[in-house]
Amino acid sequence: MKKKDQIFAGIIFLIFIIILLRLWQLQILNTEKYKKLAEQNRIRIIKIPAPRGIIYDRNGIPLVENIPSFAALISPEYADKVDINLLSKILNIPPDELQNRLKTKIESIYMPIKIKDDLTFKEIAMLEARRSEIPGLIIQTELKRHYPFGPATAHLLGYLGKITEQQIKNNPQYQSLPSYFLVGQTGLEKLFDERLMGIPGEKIVEVDALGRELRLIKESPPVKGEDIYLTIDALLQEAAYKSFDTLTGAFVAIKPDTGELLALLSSPSFDPNKFVEGVTEAYWNELISNPKNPLLNRAVQGLYAPGSTFKIITALAGLEEGVITPDKVLVNCNGGISVGQWTFGCWKKEGHGPVNLRKALVESCDVYFYELGRILGIKKIHKYATLLGLGSSTGFNSDEKSGLVPDDEWKKKVKKSSWFLGDTFNTAIGQGFLKVTPLQMARVMAIVVNGGLKVTPYIIRGDEPRKENLNLNPKNLDIIKEALSGVVNEPSGTASGARSYIIKFGGKTGTVQVISKKLKEKVSYKNIEHHAWFIGFAPVENPEMAFSVIVEHGGSGGAVAAPVARNILEGYILKKRQLNVKN
C-alpha cells in the first residue's frame, strides 16, 4: 500500500474512533444530562402557590382576603423565541421591561417565567387568540392578596413581596420556591409567614412543541395556609384611621386586664394593595421621599418625650413612697419656680394657686411636679418609670423600640456630664431625655386602671395572657384614676373640651416641647409646633380599653390629641351600634 493510501486510511480510522468516543460520551457518560434535556422538550413542572391563610379580627371580620387572579408565564426554553413586540402590545408592557422579565434568573429548567400578574379578561382573550404565535405560553390561575381596609391596617398587617435572595439564604423553606412567589415582607404577613403560606402544590404536564398542555401526568394540590384570628377590633382600627385623617402620629389601644391589642395605627400610612403585584417605582419613590415617612410604624418605633402624661408616674411614685397625700397642698403655684439663676415655668403663666395632687393632675400643674420631683429624686422616679415598663420593650414584637429612662449614671456615661436638679425637674414633667413609644404609654395606662398588673401586649386571639403583679397599692391607683376622670369630665380639666356625651372616658394630656419658646418666636419654618399627647381609658367605670394618642406637631394635648381620642371612641361606638356588634 502506498504511503499516501496509508495516511488516508489512518485518517479514516481516526475519524471513526472519534465518532465512537463521542457516541460513548453521549450515550454512556452523559445519559442523565440528555435524558433531562429530552424530558424538558415534553415535560413541564408548574409550582402552584397555596392559598394564604386569612387574617380575621376578634369578631371574625376579614382583615385580608384572597381574590382570584390570572397570570401569564413563559416556559424558559421559549424565552428567546418570544415575539417581544406582540406580547408588548397585548400586555401593555414596554419591550425593554418585557425583555428583562424574560431574562429573569430561574431556579430550574422546568419552572416557567412569570411575565405579568393580574391579567384582564381582554388580555386573556387576546393571548388565547394568538397562542399559536406565542410558544411556551402558560396562563395560570392564582389567588391575589387583597386588604379590604387598605391603609387603615397597613402597618399592622404589612404586605407581600417577591422572595429576596437574603430570605432564600436565611430560610430553607423558601429555597424550593420560584422567585416570583410572594412572601411576607413586613408586619404580621412577615411575622406569621410560615403559618399563613401553606404548602405549595405542583403540577407535572406533557406539552407539545408550542408548549401547549397535552396531558396531566401528576398533580399534588396545594395545602391552604392556616387562618389566623387576631385580638384586633377592625371597627376600632378603622375609626382611628378616619379620625387621624391627615394628622401625623399614632394610636394604640389594649384591653387593660389581658393585654390584648385592640388597635394599632400609624399615620400617615400607605396602601398595601399597591404592593400585591409589585410596587411601582413611582409609588415607592413617593413613599420614601415623603418627609412624614409613611413607612415608619410610629406606634412601636416612634420615640417621643411623654410630656405631662408622665406626671401619672411621678404622682404614683410620690404616693407609693409616702411623700405626698391626695389632699396635701404641696405648692402655691405662681407660674414658675426658681433655682439659682434658672427659672422653670408652669404652662399656666398666671399660676394655679394652692395645689394638691388631684388638682395637679386635673389641671396639669408643672410647679407641683417640679417640687414632687425634687422631693423624690431621680433614682425613685427612674425606679417607678422602669417598673411600669418604660425604657424596655413591652415584649410585643422584635421591631419595637425600647425608649429611654435617664438617671444620673446614664448621663455621666453617655453625656459625660453631671446630673442637675433641672434635669430632675424636666424628667418629673416628662421632658428632657425621656423617650417612650405610644405602645408603652398605652400599657402604662392599662397598669393604672387594671389594679397594678403589668400585661404583655399580644395580638393572637387565644394566646395565654402574661401578667406581672407590680404590688402597687390599689388605693393609690384609684386616687390617680379618679383624678384622670376629672381631666376630661370637669370644667377645669385640661381635656374638658373633649368631653363626650356618648361615652365617659378619662386620661391625661401632654404637650411636648419641640423647640424652646424663645427660638419658636424667632423662626418661621414649619414643624415647630409641640407634639400633642393623650393617654386614656374608657369607659371610666370598669374600663374595657386603655389607649394612647400622639399627634406630631399638633400643638396642645388638650386641644388636639384628646379630641382625636374622643372622635375615635365615638366613631367606634356608633359603628358598633349600627352593625349591632356586641364584642
Give the C-alpha separation, 85 to 92, whole Å: 10
The torsion of the CA quartet 457, 459, 462, 467, rounded to 10 degrees, works out to 0
Report CA Rg, the chain.
33
d(C-alpha 319, C-alpha 449), whole Å: 16
Question: CA 70 to CA 117: how far, in whole Å?
Answer: 6
Q: What angle do CA 374, 438, 255 make, to 5 degrees?
A: 105
| 163's grid cell | 422572595
Strand partners, 332: 354
Report phi then psi at 469, rounded to 5: -80, 115
**Termini Cα distance of the chain:** 107
How do beta strands 453-455 and 467-469 pair? antiparallel
C-alpha torsion angle, residues 226, 232, 234, 235 (rounded to 10): 160
Of residues 535, 538, 542, the one with CA closest to residue 557: 535
Q: Does 88 qualify as catalytic in the annotation? A: no
Catalytic-role residue among 308, 364, 548, 556 = 308
Q: Helices 234-244 and 562-579 meet at what angle, rounded to 10?
A: 140
Question: Amino acid identity of 121?
Answer: F
Cα within 13 Å of Cα(220), Cβ side: 10
Could you give the CA distance from residue 418 to residue 126 in angstroms, rounded to a whole number?
76
Cβ(177)–Cβ(200) below 8 Å: yes
Secondary structure (H, E, C), 538-567:
ECCCCCCEEEEEEECCCCCHHHHHHHHHHH
Q: Across-strand partners of 436? A: 304
CA proximity to 135, closest of 88, 180, 94, 80: 80
Cα–Cα distance, 77 to 408 (Å, whole number)? 69
CA distances from 468 to 194, 389, 478, 558 (A): 31, 11, 19, 32
Residues with a catalytic annotation lie at: 308
